[in-house]
Amino acid sequence: MSTACTILGIESSCDETAAAIVSSDRTVHANIIASSAELHARYGGVVPEIAARQHLDVIRPVIEQALSEAGCSFDDIDGIAATGGPGLIGGVLVGTMSAKAIAAARELPYFAVNHLEGHALTARLTDGLAFPYLLLLVSGGHTQLLCVRGPGLYARYGTTMDDAAGEAFDKSASVLGLGYPGGPAIEKAAIGGQPNAIQLPRPRRNAADCHFSFSGLKTAVATRWQAANDAHKEGRQDAPSVADFAASLQQAIADSLVARTKRALHRFYDETGSRQLVVAGGVAANQTVRHALQELATAEGFTLSTPPLSLCTDNGAMIAWVGCEYFQLNRTSPLTFAPRPRWPLDDEAPPPPGRGIRS
C-alpha cells in the first residue's frame, strides 16, 4: 500500500540550480529554477568552476523560494531528494551536501537521485504512466534508449558511441555563431530555413543495433559551413544561409533519432507487449524532433508521451518525484552516499562498439 508524501527535490548537476516541492498525488506545489546560462554564454558552453560557485550562491534562496511558493515549511516535508549524479561534480556536491544537511537537521529521509532517472520517470509525474515503457532520453550529455520497468529497473538498448544529440546542437550552434545554449538557438535560427538544403549524414541510420553517433554530424556541419563562408566571400548568391544550416542539422538529428528509436520499438514490443514510448530530456523540447517521433509512434501503433516544455530541461520537480517513488518503496539513501560524476541507469549494459565505459 502506497504512502502519501511531500518531497523537496534539489537539482544542481549542470548550470541550473533548482528546487521543487512535489507530492505523491502528482501535485507540483513549486518548481523554482535559477539558470546561470548567461554567465556561460560568453565562453560558448558551461564552465564547471563558474557553475559550482553559482550553485553555492543561489542554492539557499532557491530552496527558500520553493518553500514560500508552496506555502509550506520543513515541517510539511516528508523527505529530501537531490541529484547525486551524473553531472559536473562541483554542482552535484553543492546539491548533495545541502540535501544531507537538511535531512540530518530535520531527521528526514534522504534520497540520492540519479539525474537520468529524474528524466526517465517524469512521464509518471505528468501523465501517471504505468510501467513498462520505452524511453528515449535525449539531452545535452546523454542519448539513450531504455526499457523502463520500474524505479531502478532499466535495460539499456542503445546509447551514443561518441557525442550526445544535445552536444551536436551546442557545438554546431557555436560553429554557426548562434551562441549558447545551442538547442534553442538552432531551433529559432531554423525558422524559414530549408531542412534539405545542406547534405548532412544520418550516422548509423541502417545499423542493426540501437546505438547512436553524432560526432560525424558535427564535423560535417563545420566543414560545410566553412565551404559556405568561402562561397559567400566569393560573392556567390546561391550560398546557403545560417537558417538552411540550422534547419538541415535539426532534420538530420531528428532523422537519426527516429531511425534508432524505430529499431528499439520493435525490440521493446517483442519483449514486453507494451506500445508506450516516452521521450524526455532537453532535446525533447525541440518541436521538429517531437513531430518526427510522433509520426514514428503513430506509424508503429505506439502512444507517445512527452513532458511539458518546462519539465524537459533540468528541474527540481523531476528529482522530487523520484524521491516520492522511492519514499513509497521505503528505499532511502545513507548520508554517507558519495556523489558520482558518472552513474549509469543500467550498470550491467556493455559499452557500445568502439567506445569505453560511460554513463
Asked if 55 and 154 touch (Cβ cutoff 8 Å), the reply is: no
Whether 315 is covered by a domain: the verdict is yes
* Average pLDDT over every residue of 16-26: 97
Distance of alpha carbon 9 from alpha carbon 178, whole angstroms: 33
**Overall pTM surpassing 0.85 (yes/no):** yes
Q: Is 355 helix (H, G, I), strand (E, B) or coil?
A: coil
Q: If you average pLDDT over every residue of the chain, what do you get?
A: 93
* Average pLDDT over every residue of 14-43: 92
- 175 plus 254 within the same structural domain: yes
Distance of alpha carbon 351 from alpha carbon 161, whole angstroms: 8
Beta bridge partners of residue 82, listed in sequence order: 10, 112
End-to-end CA distance of the chain: 33
**Residue 149 exposed, middle or buried by CB count within 10 Å (0-12, 13-18, 19+):** middle
- 158 plus 79 within the same structural domain: no
Residues spanned by the domain of 190: 134-307
- 174 plus 256 within the same structural domain: yes
Amino acid letter for position 169: F
Do the strands 276-280 and 303-305 form a parallel or antiparallel pair, or are they unpaired?
A: parallel
CATH number at residue 233: 3.30.420.40
- 151 plus 260 within the same structural domain: yes
Asked if 112 and 96 touch (Cβ cutoff 8 Å), the reply is: yes
**Structure confidence by residue, pLDDT tens digits, 159-212:** 999 999 999 999 999 999 998 889 999 999 999 999 999 999 998 988 999 999
* Average pLDDT over every residue of 133-156: 96
Phi and psi angles of residue 80, each rounded to the nearest 5 degrees, phi first: -120, 125
C-alpha cell at 235: 560573392
- 38 plus 75 within the same structural domain: yes
Task: Give which of 33, 125, 32, 23 is closest to 76, Cα–Cα.
Answer: 23
Whether 215 is covered by a domain: the verdict is yes
**Structure confidence by residue, pLDDT tens digits, 302-343:** 999 999 999 999 999 999 999 999 999 999 999 999 999 999
Whether 340 is covered by a domain: the verdict is no
Count of the separate structural domains present in the chain: 2
- Residue 254: left if φ>0, alpha if ψ -120 to 50, beta else—which one? alpha
Distance of alpha carbon 44 from alpha carbon 177, whole angstroms: 10
- 62 plus 100 within the same structural domain: yes
- 201 plus 267 within the same structural domain: yes
Whether 260 is covered by a domain: the verdict is yes
Counted residue by residue, the chain has a size of 359
Neighbours of 51 (CB within 10 A): 25
Whether 353 is covered by a domain: the verdict is no
**Structure confidence by residue, pLDDT tens digits, 222-268:** 999 999 888 767 777 667 899 999 999 999 999 999 999 999 999 99
- 110 plus 166 within the same structural domain: no
Asked if 120 and 139 touch (Cβ cutoff 8 Å), the reply is: no
- 284 plus 300 within the same structural domain: yes
